[in-house]
Amino acid sequence: MIQVKNVSLTLQKTEILKAINIRFAAGQIHGLIGRNGSGKTMLMKCICGFIRPTSGMIYVAGKQVGKDCDFPDRLGLIIETPGFIPYYSGYKNLKLLADLNKRIDRDAVKRAMRQVGLDPELKRHVKKYSLGMRQRLGLAQAIMENPNLLILDEPMNGLDKDGVADMRKYLLDLKAQGKTILIASHSAEDISCLCDTVCEMDKGVLTQIRDSQ
């Protein structure tokens, strides 16, 4: 699903990513671990097409990002804290986003919210959501258009114990549906429970430390 070929990234004379080569197979959950500043989020942003690498190539589903497509097709993502219009309800935020692409109707939006444990009828403004509720809303936004690939940066952030358990179950359900998931987490337990392959990043260098194959 994802192939990263000799990718390096330099920003303001600082080397962020260093000659990264990795393949992430379809239909699996792949984990990225590493300290803050190790390069995990930047690698994800390059795969999504938000940042162009200084050198190297990235392919998603056979298409070169930045050449064959600006952004990968059928991609759902959470990168950093999800941003929503604070004075709209969760449902209104997602409906607004869905209307931009016109791929899904309001029932699909409501269904995605229910799947992550949110009530689409709740009128509360997003500014009054807890961090955990915002994370759930971010995941609902990521999955509502039925993507093939999910890229999730710290999706458990702000969730309580029950919320983490729910999120893990849901991600495993998505894998069972054939989805490919790339997840970054600080939690060794999350990575151990969920991931088929695990890669560690440190100072822009990536090393594969576990492979289900």
Q: Where in the chain is the domain with CATH 3.40.50.300?
A: 1-74+148-213
Helix (H) or strand (E) segment spanning residue 135: helix 131-143
Mean pLDDT by 10 residues, the chain (213 residues): 94 92 94 88 93 95 92 87 87 92 89 92 93 88 92 86 86 92 86 89 85 57
pLDDT, residue 21, reads 94
What is the CATH code of the structural domain delimited by 1-74+148-213? 3.40.50.300
| Local structure of 48: helix, strand or coil | helix
Can you tell me the distance from the alpha carbon of 112 to that of 185, in angstroms, rounded to the nearest whole number? 23
**Residue 140 gets which letter from DSSP?**
H
Strands 75-78 and 2-11: unpaired
Can you tell me the distance from the alpha carbon of 94 to that of 84, in angstroms, rounded to the nearest whole number? 9
pLDDT, residue 213, reads 46
Q: Encode 159-201 in three state secondary structure.
A: CCHHHHHHHHHHHHHHHHCCCEEEEECCCHHHHHHHCCEEEEE
Burial class (CB in 10 A: 0-12, 13-18, 19+), 49: middle
